[in-house]
Amino acid sequence: MGLLLAGDIGGTKTILRLVEASDSGELLQTLYEEIFPSGNFPDLVPMVRQFLTAAAGQLGETPKPEKACFAIAGPVVNNTSILTNLSWSLDSKRLEQQLGIAAVSLINDFAAVGYGVLGLAESDLYTLQAGKHQEDAPIGVIGAGTGLGQGFLIRLASNAHKVFPSEGGHADFAPRSELEFQLLKYLLDKHNIQRISVERVVSGLGIVSIYQFLRDRKIAEESSEIGQMIRNWEQEIGQKDKTIDPAAIIGKAALEKSDRLCEQTMQI
């Protein structure tokens, strides 16, 4: 089957991988992989060119992928996509011409995850809630990143699965407690908008928003160390090159139980 280029295009980061496929297409060998900050590039084309140049240095020759498939964090219509959390507009025909790749496919990132879950082994699974498994039931897929991705799979009569992406993360955030109602009001006022989607809360960006809400409403006390890092990040808003990942800082402190405000953030 030859040389393939695969990409996971997210609002925060992009992962590109060069793989060699067997003739049957079932066996894939990774030749080179690299992670890029998505916001550092105006478009996917210069990123892929930089990737292929770096791959050439590692492999000793310039790789020429025969096909490429990019999983996009946003809706894909007729092999085109405008990313939800990144100012990129992608079109497979343009990418084919500018990258010199014969066939480029764009799919939703959670369609890609849907195909991926079919390849999981028993050792990859973790039971959240025990129950009776129903073989022909739909499979739901959900994951929080820069936004909130969702999709699902249904089993066909042939025992194969059909994968459906969705934009369910844009559904309205539905508060369930007085504290969550306060969070909703805080976000509406903060962003001066008419509605709050789920992904404004359940996402990497949502982690920071919840932290700011708890801090600003003085619901929990902010530590000087974490507080200084968050303020440094807030000063970097709007700048191209950022040095701080606030969601990672908050999540790490919560896991280590070293900061009560971060713990409360992650509990919400």
Residue 69: CATH number of its domain: 3.30.420.40
Out of 78, 108, 138, a domain closes at 108
Q: Residue holding tokens 């020759």?
A: 61
Out of 108, 124, 155, a domain closes at 108
Do residues 15 and 104 both lie within one domain? yes
Q: Is 163 exposed, middle or buried (0-12, 13-18, 19+ CB in 10 A)?
A: buried
Residues 26 and 100: their CA atoms lie apart, in Å, by 25
Q: Please indicate, yes or no, if residue 196 is contained in any of the structural domains.
A: yes
What is the phi-psi region of residue 78: left when phi exceeds 0, alpha when psi lies from -120 to 50, beta otherwise? left
Q: Per-residue confidence of the chain (268 residues) as pLDDT tens digits?
A: 689 999 999 888 899 999 998 766 667 889 999 999 998 999 999 999 999 999 999 888 889 999 999 999 888 999 999 887 788 999 999 999 999 999 999 999 999 999 999 889 999 999 999 998 888 899 999 998 888 989 999 999 888 999 999 889 999 999 999 999 999 999 999 999 999 999 999 999 999 999 999 999 998 888 888 989 988 888 887 776 678 889 999 999 999 999 999 999 999 9
Instruction: Confirm if 150 and 168 have CB atoms less than 8 A apart.
Output: yes
User: Considering the entire predicted model, what is its pTM?
Assistant: 0.76
Q: Please indicate, yes or no, if residue 168 is contained in any of the structural domains.
A: no
Domain count of the fold of the chain: 2
Residue-range definition of the domain harbouring residue 15: 2-108
String of b and e for 10-27 (b: at least 16 CB within 10 Å)? Answer: bbbebebbbbebeeeeee
Q: Please indicate, yes or no, if residue 220 is contained in any of the structural domains.
A: yes
Residues 99 and 71: their CA atoms lie apart, in Å, by 17
SS3 assignment, position 121: coil
